[in-house]
A and B are shown apart, each in its own frame.
Chain A
Amino acid sequence: MHELSLIANLFEILEEKAAEKEAKRILSVKLQVGLLSGAVPELLKTSFDIYKKDTIAAEAELEIIEVPFKVECNVCQTQMIKDDLVAVCDACGSIDLKTLQGTDLFLLKMDVEI
């Protein structure tokens, strides 16, 4: 359950950005969560709701966009979506693949009241 640490990092970024924009409060937050990022969207939501109390985002909604795990074959350049981390190209069988998306966690945007 490292989601609470991730949410703590999120709040550091939120508070910094809110101060920069001189926001009165944060209304909503949008995250992009890779399906193979190792973080569970439900646990991120629960952690967010625990953490937000008494912060500038106390009433904010967390929206999560889940992104699939996508790779590109370095041999035949085929791009494909994978359900798991097994590293074999569907087209040519090569094991030389590079990750395009689906393993990261990004704060995309927030709506604030100014």
Chain B
Amino acid sequence: MIKKEVLVLKDLLGSNKAVAKEIREQLSARGILVLNLISSPGAGKTSLLEALADLLRPEFSMAVIEGDIETERDAERIRAKGIPAWQITTGGACHLEAKMIGKLSPEIPEGLDFLFIENVGNLVCPASFDLGETIRCVLLSTPEGDDKPKKYPQVFNSSHCLLLTKTDLVPPLPFDIELARSEALEINPGLQTFALSSVSGAGMREFADYLIASLHKLRQDHA
């Protein structure tokens, strides 16, 4: 038997990173701001998108890619608001990958302003997979507890913005918004943070304005 050592040195996520980079370049050049929303199940991703629709439209257009393990339910909720939505059902996989987004990119209409990708509900696995987004948002809802940034650091570290959601439930919930914010900033000093509620509308205008400012910046950078 002839044994041979083969040196490789290849990133296991290299192929995902390459596809993500291509998506980001193409969609940015088309002036579309892509956001990847990551949270544990039920933190309020779909509700946030429903509430944002009322703030962004009609001035701006938006579309949504929904990632779920099963069902078309979230895409149906979004379509019910008159917003184009594609559903990706992963059939068990706990995260979306760039190639799943890449398959849809030819269908993304010209002239779109915002493309939101709602990742599979999971605070761990999606953090490792770049989808070609320009802005990664992690959502942490008040019922989950203010200790989560330190317990799930990867996703807070890799995000650009943190949304503390369901603030209408504090009190009675013992969630310390400033503690959650400061612990997240210890992990990632560059995080933009927002505290908001899709139900009461508190903090939503500020977040919508951040999105609009980010869209203008993207278009300036790619003019």
Contacts and interface: CB of A to CB of B under 8 A. Distances in A.
A87 B129 CA distance: 22
B47 interface: no
B9 interface: yes
Interface of A: 1-2, 5-6, 9-10, 12-13, 17, 21, 23, 27, 31, 36-39, 84-88, 95-96, 104-114
Secondary structure call for the B interface = mixed
Candidate in A1, A5, A10, A95 with the most chain B CB atoms within 10 angstroms = A5
B7 A87 contact: no
Interface string B143-175: 000000010011011000000000000000000
B125 A108 contact: no
Nearest to A39: B128
Contacts of B156: 85
Interface size, B (range) = 20 to 34
Contact of B11 (A85, A86, A106): A106
A109 B13 contact: no
Interface stretch (B52-60, B92-100, B199-207): B92-100
Contact of A87 (B9, B93, B97, B189): B189
A2 B95 contact: yes
Contacts of A21: 4, 6
A5 B94 CA distance: 10
Contacts of A84: 150, 153
A109 B128 contact: no
A9 to B, nearest CB: 5
Return the 4 tightest CB-CB contacts between A and B, nearest first: A2-B125, A85-B153, A105-B12, A95-B189
B99 to A, nearest CB: 11
A10 B7 CA distance: 14
A13 B6 contact: no
Candidate in A2, A17, A27, A106 with the most chain B CB atoms within 10 angstroms = A2
Nearest to A9: B12
